[in-house]
Structure 1
């Protein structure tokens, strides 16, 4: 089903993937975004995770900052308010966040790229809940990638080895409440594109997420309750020669009462493996769409370039 208000695809993962792949792909080509229902992440797990996230952010600042790793690029643990900023932005975003990454066994070949997770001792069940949610996000993301592969005319499992043991990161995000007349309509996260392969977002029901259309207009993204918003990241845009769009998006403060309360969300940034080399897919090159990025780059090199641009490395 397509939402008539936005024309962004709203599809159910309960349907056979081959029946929704082209609608999903069309939305990613036109908008860089789609909305996913029936994604398989249990609602009780989401509820538990949201409660624990709020419990952590309610801790005193000095307790939270004890879990910040200076020089760690925000890869794990806590990143304080006023640290990250969008590429080319002049001011920092109005947010604080916590990162959970992949748990690799000791001695794993990719361990050098992924630091160990940090866990707050003050919150019971935090580690178990968010490791469970991480796995659920990854499974949902894998299904979306299967749909994308089908749309691109690739084998259904094409992306599975590219993201196996990938450097994916789950972010628990809090935008603190703002005060004063300037709060309504304030920019909480400046316009930016995501670095990774695809992003899956829980918590976008709260008004404020907007994408920039190809006509240069800001369009609100308003998913149904419990749905995932999924968007294309820069790595996948590069791999597909721009066929799938990594669209600039932002978070603005809504009007009315919601402008004066905190906003919470949980994005999952699904990444390729650090050693995966991003090279343009031959099927995405034709006379009308010549290759625009002939140079290849590993996903890790690409990530580090972009982290430096947003003040996290």
Structure 2
């Protein structure tokens, strides 16, 4: 999350709240510390989530500052009037780039969400495709957004390189599947939930889901993000908060990476509910960098190392990523597929 100084502007996360104790992985150690890389693989298998400590290296400290600028941009964006924001409404499910208004998505309890959301297309910002028209605050901040994207991508490349070593696949395999210079559905997502005048502490503001891509890097200061531990029934009392920590970001594994590793890694169900304690009285903002593979990349399982080989019972997914992702998203929207924790295969082969 952003720096401790930035955290100090807001009410603290209440100490009595039940939280999940996520593994903490140091970005600064990942390149040369085998024990840290082993801890990373374990986190990706058991939780599908971990806390990435960024303040242990220059690269990470720069990214923390850039995340703070993205929070300020989120404030500026969602201070626009509703009619202006609606001009940039996304065209779901065909194209999820752009603005989603509060109340457009169903939540787990069959109500509606309480979250403004604007997805910024990476290809648009880094020049992989002709520029599209965005809301004015975003157009005025193209250089700033591009810097954030490049540094966030670089940090996740470091994570993926360490993961490659532990999986036993050829170095550069995962980064080659998620290049910055090829078209993909990678996006920066700015999210904002207004403060509630009459707080509903159990209100689901963004329903339970897994991320469809490779990995997600998330920054937030106000609580509300929850994870459902693997094997737990999906009832309110089983969900656990993830406490925002200064100097860190939350990273989670996406469905594509689960498929590539034959279910060895885990993609965990998560959601957002009303912030706990006094934090309920302030707007909740978050910034997510959602990495997706190049559109033409195959969903074919990776070979080698500790990745389980394909069996006749498994079958093998061979569609291009963009076709598979579009199919999966549509099936979830139609209610044919239920979002749930996936992967976390228990044994090496």
Q: 1:193 to 1:105 in 2, by over 3 A?
A: closer
Q: Please say if residues 201 and 265 of structure 1, whose CA atoms lie closer than 8 Å, have aligned partners that are also in contact.
A: yes
Q: 2:123 aligns with which of 100, 103, 113?
A: 103
**In 1, Cα distance between equivalents of 2:136 and 2:269:** 36
Instruction: Report the equivalent of 1:194.
Output: 211
Q: 1:178 to 1:277 in 2, by over 3 A?
A: same
1:189 deviates by: 1.2
Instruction: Report the equivalent of 1:35.
Output: 51
Q: Which moved more, 1:11-20 or 1:247-256?
A: 11-20
SS in 2 for 1:188: strand
Instruction: Report the equivalent of 1:139.
Output: 154
Q: 1:79 to 1:28 in 2, by over 3 A?
A: same
TM norm structure 2 = 0.77
Q: Please say if residues 147 and 156 of structure 1, whose CA atoms lie closer than 8 Å, have aligned partners that are also in contact.
A: no
Q: 2:112 aligns with which of 60, 72, 92?
A: 92
**In 1, Cα distance between equivalents of 2:141 and 2:230:** 40
Instruction: Report the equivalent of 2:78.
Output: 57
Q: Which moved more, 1:96-105 or 1:170-179?
A: 96-105
1:42 deviates by: 3.2
Instruction: Report the equivalent of 1:247.
Output: 268
Superposed CA RMSD in Å reads 2.8
Q: 1:285 aligns with which of 260, 284, 308?
A: 308
Instruction: Report the equivalent of 1:220.
Output: 241
SS in 2 for 1:148: helix
**In 2, Cα distance between equivalents of 1:122 and 1:80:** 17
**In 1, Cα distance between equivalents of 2:37 and 2:145:** 29
1:92 deviates by: 3.4
TM norm structure 1 = 0.85
**In 2, Cα distance between equivalents of 1:91 and 1:116:** 36
Deviation readout 1:102-121 (Å, 9 max, x if unpaired) = 2369996xx5xxx7443322
Q: 1:184 aligns with which of 195, 201, 219?
A: 201
**In 1, Cα distance between equivalents of 2:258 and 2:126:** 33
Unaligned runs of 5+ in 1: none
1:140 deviates by: 1.3
**In 1, Cα distance between equivalents of 2:243 and 2:125:** 39
1:63 deviates by: 1.3
1:26 aligns with 2:42: yes
1:70 deviates by: 3.9
**In 1, Cα distance between equivalents of 2:83 and 2:292:** 31
1:68 deviates by: 1.9
Aligned residues: 299
Unaligned runs of 5+ in 2: 1-18, 233-237, 335-349
**In 1, Cα distance between equivalents of 2:125 and 2:249:** 30
Instruction: Report the equivalent of 2:26.
Output: 12
Q: 1:29 to 1:184 in 2, by over 3 A?
A: same
Instruction: Report the equivalent of 2:339.
Output: none
Q: Please say if residues 45 and 266 of structure 2, whose CA atoms lie closer than 8 Å, have aligned partners that are also in contact.
A: yes
Instruction: Report the equivalent of 1:78.
Output: 99
Instruction: Report the equivalent of 2:286.
Output: 265
Q: Please say if residues 178 and 293 of structure 2, whose CA atoms lie closer than 8 Å, have aligned partners that are also in contact.
A: yes
1:126 deviates by: 2.2
